[in-house]
Each structure stands twice: as C-alpha cells, then as structure tokens.
Structure 1
Amino acid sequence: MEHDKIISVNNLKTYFYTNERCNRALNGVSFDIRKGRTLCVVGESGCGKSVTAASIMQLLPDLSRIEEGSITYHSDGEDIRIDKLPKNGKKMRSIRGGDIAMIFQDPMTALNPVYTVGFQISENLKAHTKMTTKEAHARSIELLTLMGIPNPEQRVNEYPHQFSGGMRQRAMIAMAMSCNPKVLIADEPTTALDVTIQAQIFELMMKLKKEFNTAILLITHDMGVVNEVSDEVAVMYMGNIVESGITKEVLTKPAHPYTKALLQSIPILGKGRNQDLKPIRGSTPDPYNRPVGCQFKDRCDFATDKCMEMPGEEIVEGNHMVRCWHYKEVLSNGK
C-alpha cells in the first residue's frame, strides 16, 4: 500500500512561543494520508488537531514554527517537502487551495464578508486554473448546485451574511472542492451545524472521495462521526498520537486508556437512557507546564511508576499502534 500515500507526516514537532514560554503543541507526530481514504484525527480540545492541519497547510501563526520532522506531499512524479517551502511562496500558494484544500471550522471567519460567495469561489478557480471570469462564475453556480444550495443563480451573487450557517459551510466546501483537490483537510467542518445538515455534509464529502479518489483528513472530537465516516483513525492527546490504526480495530479493541475513556464517555444509539457514561476524570494538563513522561498518567487508572517515562510506539497487531506501557492490561480488561 506504499504507493497510495499522498501526504506523509514524520516526527512533526510544532512549537508555540509566548512570553518566553514554549508550548510543544505537536510533539513528534507521524501519520500518512492515503488516496481515496479518510483519516480521522480525534481528541479533546487543545490536543493539537488543528495545529496539525495548520502545519500541513503552512498556515501557522507568527509565534510558532516547525522545529523538527517533515511533511512530504507525494505529488505526481515528485515528492515535495511542504515544511521546507516558504509559506507565502509561489509553490506553496499553488498547492494550497489547488492540490490541498481545507474546510475551516467556522465558515463565518473563513469567508470574506465584503465579497459575494460567487466571487470568492471564482477567485480560487481563477488562481488555480486557466478559467475566464465567465467560466469561473458558471462553475461556481454548478458547485453551489452540487452542494444542494437552492436558487444557486441568485445565491451566487449574495454575501456570506445572507446565508444560514449550514449554507455557509456548504459554500466553504464548494470553494474547497472547486479545483478537485487531491487532499481535503476538514477541521471539524460540522461543529456549528445541526445533526441533519451534519449528515448531509459528511455524505457530500464521502461522495467526493468516491468520485475523485480524494484523500480526506478529518479533524473531529466526535467518536460517533469517526465510526461513521473514517477508514483509519489517529487518537491524539497533548501533541502525541497515542493510538492509531484501522477504525474498526481501534474502536472495537481500544488499547490506550485514553481511547477507552473517550469511548466510554459517549452515549451509544439504541441503548436507552440507562447507559453508564463515564466522563474522563481530571482535566488536560497545562501545555506550558507538562507532566514528565506519559501525558495521560494523572488521569489514568492503569498508571504506575513506569509511566514517568514516555512510552514508545508498540504494534498491537497489523497497523494498530499504541503508545502505552500497559496496553496489554487495557486490552485484557475488556469493555
């Protein structure tokens, strides 16, 4: 399966600096995004999910930088080291929005309020293709139609504030998909939407994946979504991937106490109201003042003195990876 990798992230360390303090937001993250597959990155707020996306897109804020590791984009016939490209250079700008597109968490901040939605989609098309203004306008209408937006001929000339939340998100997806990107990064694309719209948006993304063999990196904190839409999953905690593998294996046999705790904290459909839901005890440590060793140990039922040292990557079986000294106990402990 080597050949179908499209992005390889290897030992990525992205640090943020404020007031002479350092937050190791990503502390050695490695994963592959594959063509025609959906990889879900899941974890609590602040674990580094969005920083991962911003690192790949070269959209990191000023006081942060990639300290170590590599992000390689396997383009047709050449491997491009994204982490080595100047972030506003010509090459990066042609990749960003063309080959690798992103759907942001909040469409209201990602869409420009002073331009019509149609103008913003057309701009992207004209930047990455040889379309004329007229062709780009026609394609924008076509894209809005594909996204299920009613009266697209009229809507294309309207401004973001005239759209509802769900429609703004669809317009964002239309913009991201306008150039048939090879990789789509979706950062919690349905956070502010109701469940029916959420389902439609995921359906749209799955359809695009099937038709264009697009690779999708989906960032979410919702285990239900992971179960529905992903092929592979990476569970993130405090800047590290603590468990990863084929979604089905990870969700049915969680080997990391954190994955297990996440799964026990969500209700299961059809089990009624008497479910025993357990919130994860404690709270995430201060990123500027991290504990020594395993970052989860203070919230973990399996912790021992050994956890003062950071565990390495262990293979449970096949592609199923975990970083935990006690993963065998976690597995044998059942559900």
Structure 2
Amino acid sequence: MNEHQDVALSVKNLKTFFYTNKRCNKAVNGVSFDIKKGKTLCIVGESGCGKSVTASTIMQLLPTLSRIEEGEITYHSEHGDIRIDQLERNGEKMRSIRGSEIAMIFQDPMTALNPVYTIGFQISESLKYHTDLSRSQYRTRAIELLRDMGISLPESRVDDYPHSYSGGMRQRAMIAMAMSCSPKILIADEPTTALDVTIQAQIFELMDKLKKEHGTAIMLITHDMGVVAELADEVAVMYMGNIVEAGTVDEVLRNPTHPYTRALLASIPVLGKGKNQNVEAIPGSTPDPYDRPKGCQFADRCAYRIAACDVMPDETQIGSTHRVMCWRHEEVGANAAE
C-alpha cells in the first residue's frame, strides 16, 4: 500500500530565506506538514509569521532574492512523486503544474487580476495553456465557472473588466480562475480579506463544496480562528517561520499545548458570553526577523517562560497527529483542560 495514498502534497523541513542588504530573513525555518486529499489544512498565525511565504514557496512564486535553503516539497501526483523544490521556478515542468495541478487564490483580487483584460479573458488564459479546448469552448467554460461561483448573468459579466466587479465578485472570479482546470490542490491565501461577513460565509461554503464534490485538497491561510473551527480538518499554528503546534482541529482548539495557541484563542471574543467577558490581547509584538532572539521565538511574550527557553525546543509528538514545540507543553495542556 502506498503510504502517501491519502496525501496530496508533503512538506518536510522546509527553509526559505530572503537575502537583502547583506542580511538574511529566515522567513520559513523548518516547516513540515501534509495536505491530504479531500481535507482542509488551516495555517494560522499573526502577520509576518511565514504563512504566505510557505504558500509562495509551494507555488515557486518567490522573488529573486530568496531561495529554498533546505527541505522537500513533494507533490504526490497520479503519475508519481514530483519534487517541486527541485524544479526550475519558471521551467516548463513547474508551469505545467502551476494552475493545472496546484492552484492558488491570492490575498487581494484587485492586485491579482489584470485591470486591462476582461474577466473571461483571464479565466481563459489558464485553459489555453493547460487544455486542448477551442476558442469558443474557452468562453463557454468561463461562463460555466462564473455561474458555478454564483455570479448572476455570467453571459454578460464574462466580458466585464475587474473594476466593474464588487469585492466579493472579484474574489469569486479569482476562485473561478483557480478552479478552471480542476486542480488537485487549492491554496487559498486569506481569500476573504476585506469582504463583509455574508460574502465571507458564501466564499467558504463554496470552497467546502469544491472539497466535497471534487476531493480537492485545500490549504487555507487565515487569521480567523472561527473559520478554522468551522472549516478545518487539521490545523498548523505558525510563529516566526516555525510550526509551533499542529494536529486535528479538535486537538489544537480543544487542547492547545503551546502558549501561543492559547494566547490566540484567548484573544477572541466568544459569541454569547456578553460584553463583560475577558478578552486578552497578546502582549508585545513579533520580533525583528533580522534580529531574532535566541531559542524560542515566542519566549519574550510568553507567561510560561523559563531559562530553558533560551534554547529552541525540539518538536514533541503528543499523539499520532498532535505535535508541539514547547518545553512546558504538558503544563500548558493541563491548564487549557482546566
């Protein structure tokens, strides 16, 4: 039996560094996770912790002054394993995978969409590159995708430019572009940023439908722990380039064993508890990525700090799927249970 039969993509000890002005930013510093078929992996954490860089590394959409220092990104395709980290960024093989096998919904649709081309033209671009459809079929397929995304009058809206779409419609158009070739893996980088709550719910419902109907493996980057609780099958909590805790959604949200995970959950108001509930802000701020503290990166903000935190803790396997990087994870877990 193939040990990867349920896994669409594996990331092992990934390190992506940026080099500027003789300085090095270790944006992703030893990250490991699996994206499973028909499942949603949510990656959560504060801005600047490396979530989007991880997504860009998988897609090989990194800027020039960056490189993958270490690690493996393995795409388990129907035709065998493909080491994405060893492919040329703009080589023919990577271009054939990007958009066709692995697609991405970008954070800001207004900057991701080209303002001088129609929505239909931009959806058709991926179809032209990855399929053998005719010109008339491109248009028909683009209209079908827009209709599937819940956009009314797709026959006329397909010829509109991005500026004539609302924020929610632009995001739906982005998802239509991403899903045009029925990818096996969908990476969504905060796909509902700046959208109102009603539209957010519709977008997430749409993504859940894609997962269930097509078996798409989804990697969702978000700040919203409510979204995680609703959509995630598995959760990875990132902080300063490391995954500090990971496991199933129940393990991480019901029994958090890292102080950062606990702090994230404590900073969210709970519906129904009223205005007098205690919502705790996380003290301090993320350290300078070019001047990092020694040892645990969260230590300066942590209530559980001890002398041992001056050394980076190893990853501890708590259960078959639950893992954490903390010297005092047992105590943190016991307090969370209380």
Please classify the TM superposition score into its range, dividing by the shorter chain length.
over 0.9
8 Å Cα contact 2:44/2:223 also seen in 1: yes
* In 1: Cα distance, 2:225 partner to 2:197 partner: 14
1:60-75 equivalences in 2 (<5 Å): 60-75=62-77
Distance 2:181 2:277 in 1: 45
Partner of 2:9: 7
Across the aligned residues of Structure 1 and Structure 2, the Cα RMSD in angstroms comes to 0.8
String of CA shifts for 1:13-59, please: whole Å, max 9, x gaps. 00011100000000000000010000000000000000000000000
Q: Matched residues in 1 for 2:176 and 2:221: separation?
A: 19
2:83 to 76, 81, 84: 81
Number of aligned residue pairs: give it: 335
Work out whether residues 4 and 76 of structure 2, in 8 Å CA contact, stay in contact via their aligned partners in 1.
Answer: no
**Aligned match of 1:252:** 254
Letter in 1 for 2:161: Y
Amino acid at match of 1:294: C
The CA distance in 2 between the partners of 1:332 and 1:169, in whole Å, is: 41
Question: SS of the residue aligned with 2:17?
Answer: strand
Find 1:186's aligned residue among 166, 188, 192. Answer: 188
In structure 1, the residue corresponding to 2:270 is in which secondary structure?
coil
Equivalent residue number for residue 263 of structure 2 = 261
Match of 1:204 among 202, 206, 220: 206
1:25: which partner in 2? 27
Which residue in the other structure is 1:106 paired with?
Answer: 108
Name the CA distance, whole Å, in 1 between partners of 2:162 and 2:154: 14
Partner Cα separation in structure 2 for residue 275 and residue 96 of structure 1: 46
TM-score between both structures, scaled by the size of structure 2: 0.98
How far is the alpha carbon of 1:315 from its aligned partner? 1.4
- Aligned-pair CA distance for 1:77: 2.9
Match of 1:218 in 2: 220
Question: What pairs with 1:121-200 in structure 2 (closer than 5 Å)?
Answer: 121-200=123-202
Q: Deviations over 1:87-134 (max 9, x none)?
A: 111110010000000000000111111100001101111111111110
Q: Does 1:44 align with 2:51?
A: no
Work out the percentage of aligned pairs sharing the same amino acid: 70
Residue aligned with 2:5, SS: helix
Q: Structure 2 CA distance, aligned partners of 1:118 and 1:270?
A: 44
Distance in 2 separating the partners of 1:24 and 1:174? 34
Aligned partners of 2:290 and 2:258: how far apart in 1? 24
Counterparts of 2:249 and 2:163, CA distance in 1: 38
Q: State the TM-score, normalized to the length of structure 1.
A: 0.99
Unmatched tracts of structure 1, length 5 or more: none
**4+ runs of 1 displaced by more than 3 Å?**
none
Deviation at 1:78, TM superposition (A): 1.1
**Which of 289, 298, 303 lines up with 2:305 in the alignment?**
303
Question: Residue 323 of structure 1 aligns with which residue?
Answer: 325
